[in-house]
Structure 1
Amino acid sequence: MLHKTFIVLSIFPLLFSLAHAQEKTVSVATLEDYAPFCFTTQPINSLEQIPPGSDSAALKGYSWDVLRASFHRMNYSIELNVSPWARAIKLVSAGNKDILFPTGKNSERQKIFLYSKEPINQANFRIYVRQDSPIVWSGLESIKGLTIGQRRGFNFGDKWNNLKKVHKLKLNSTLQGFKMLDAGRVDGIVSYEFITDYALKNAGWKNTYKKLPVFDSTAEYLVALKSNPRAQEILNDFDEGKRHLIKTGELKKIEDHWFQSPN
């Protein structure tokens, strides 16, 4: 009897350790209107808990699928918070959430955030203008003196941030900007090419626009606050999980699902 008791007591710490290792949780903040990378199909009124093998009831998109599959591969449960982008940034910057995504690089962000090594999607930056726009493109200098709309809280890189003598009008949504462009209230809209084309097509937008040449681009990543003691561990686990998706062909399946057609 004593021998059996010793065995049980010896096994208990091991079982506890294994259970504890499987109970990893990462809190994630993202935005609601970034199709086809991250977007909601219904309102989210509270936090969602997404254990391995399950999906969000409302959040969809390529980047979400990559993040979810990568963390689930590493036995993480995901605590998901979806909000307007500016609020999502504040949640992570204040230390209230572990991860912000999808996040482009610029010098200001790199002062406070650590980045994953593996990107989660790619963004090309272009300026959209009306078909009758007189702008002759020779780089960003071509738009000096003009009013250009830009999404609030979005990153367009250091070239854009350092551009002077342009009135940069903050917008709450991509489609709001194009309504203003149609009305002549702005001279152009700076935006991410793929999500903008996707949004206009899926909104059945009647007007068409000229796209000025790509002036910059960025891969987008997961980021964590440098002061978060778990930051590097979480990002390393995401990187390992995503590399597994590449190795097994699961990432290719996700890409095919989202990019064969925007519909």
Structure 2
Amino acid sequence: MKFLLFILVCSLSSIILAQDVKTVSIASGEYPPWTSKDYKDQGFVNHVISEAFRRQSYQVSFIYLAWARSIKEAEKGRFHAASYWACSPERKQSFFCSEPLHTEAYVFFHLKTTQFSGWNTLDDLKGYKIGVTRGYTYTKAFWDSHKNKELDLIVNTTDEISMKMLLKGRLNLMIVSSITGLMILNEKFDPVIAQSVTYNSKPLVNNPAHLLFPKSHTDTKLLLTIFNKGLQSMKDDGTFEKHLDMLITGYYKKVAK
């Protein structure tokens, strides 16, 4: 009898614990090694997000969409959050921004044979066909130069498409974070082809990245507080720094299927 009572108590405890673990749905997109459904732990950023919520007894479900669509769907409140974005003044109108997850340097990649000695102002980029990705932030001045037809930007849906166009000579430059650009070259192309590409070290922008919580969702302020608390605990105990080391040493790679 005591044994049966013990089993019953254990079963009830398991049910209660299972109910205590809530699920957060987050819209994301493909941007390896930062975010990707095909990479270890879904990439560095999404790994950090999952761990921060796990410490607060929440689990995360990432739904991968095209970047422009992912933030629109999140803005409507169809997801608890959007991973991951710069906290621009425009986005602050519809979202609350988490504490920074990391900072990315967006640089210009080009073929070594391209005559590109560098740049100081946006005027120095005139005359080049530049590959960019739809939905990315970059800078307002950069996008405004495109709207005013001062810069020739070729807008693609992914960085990989821009890289392919660059290698085929259909672009002069493409802008992408240095780590992502190098990973695309190393994973998608023959080493000989990859070695034909280089990048200019001067960044267009260093963008702090955040998890965005839509103001339209009823649970937003609670989840924002919970996430920031979990993220801070990772920074306090050294786990966040450990994840950064894993990023640098190549832990976040595509998982073989």
Please, what TM-score do these two structures have when normalized by structure 2? 0.80
SS at match of 1:29: strand
| 2:22 pairs with 1:40 | no
Partner residue, 1:9 = none
**Matched residue type, 2:108:** I
Instruction: Kindly provide the CA deviation profile for residues 31-54 of structure 1, in whole angstroms up to 9, marking residues without a partner as x.
Output: 1x3111111228xxxxxxxxxxxx
Residue 122 of structure 1: which of 103, 107, 110 is its match?
Answer: 103
Partner residue, 2:7 = none
Gaps of 5+ in 2: 1-12
Assess if the C-alpha contact under 8 Å between 2:75 and 2:216 holds in 1.
no
TM-superposed deviation, 1:99: 0.4
Q: 1:145 to 1:105 in 2, by over 3 A?
A: farther
Which deviates more from structure 2 when the two are superposed, residues 214-223 or residues 124-133?
Answer: 124-133
Partner residue, 2:94 = 112
TM-superposed deviation, 1:93: 1.8
Q: 1:248 to 1:138 in 2, by over 3 A?
A: closer
Gaps of 5+ in 1: 1-14, 43-57
| 2:199 pairs with 1:211 | yes
Instruction: Kindly provide the CA deviation profile for residues 97-117 of structure 1, in whole angstroms up to 9, marking residues without a partner as x.
Output: 01001111323222222101x
Paired with 1:104 and 1:156, the residues of 2 have a C-alpha distance of: 9
Identity of aligned residues (%): 20
TM-superposed deviation, 1:19: 6.8
SS at match of 1:162: helix
Please, what TM-score do these two structures have when normalized by structure 1? 0.78
| 2:66 pairs with 1:84 | yes
Q: 1:102-251 to 2 correspondence within 5 Å?
A: 102-116=84-98, 118-136=99-117, 137-163=119-145, 164=148, 165-205=150-190, 206-207=193-194, 208-212=196-200, 213-251=202-240
Paired with 1:252 and 1:89, the residues of 2 have a C-alpha distance of: 28
SS at match of 2:225: helix
Q: 1:147 to 1:185 in 2, by over 3 A?
A: same
RMSD, matched Cα = 2.4
Instruction: Kindly provide the CA deviation profile for residues 42-88 of structure 1, in whole angstroms up to 9, marking residues without a partner as x.
Output: 8xxxxxxxxxxxxxxx8521111110010011111323312222221
Q: How many residues align?
A: 230
Paired with 1:78 and 1:261, the residues of 2 have a C-alpha distance of: 24
Q: 1:250 to 1:59 in 2, by over 3 A?
A: closer
TM-superposed deviation, 1:23: 4.5
Assess if the C-alpha contact under 8 Å between 1:151 and 1:170 holds in 2.
yes
Instruction: Kindly provide the CA deviation profile for residues 178-211 of structure 1, in whole angstroms up to 9, marking residues without a partner as x.
Output: 2212222222111122211122122244143232
Higher relative contact order (CA 8 A, sep 6+): 2
Paired with 2:26 and 2:79, the residues of 1 have a C-alpha distance of: 6
Residue 24 of structure 1: which of 22, 25, 46 is its match?
Answer: 22
Paired with 1:179 and 1:199, the residues of 2 have a C-alpha distance of: 10
Paired with 1:146 and 1:111, the residues of 2 have a C-alpha distance of: 34
**Matched residue type, 2:22:** K
Q: 1:178 to 1:23 in 2, by over 3 A?
A: closer
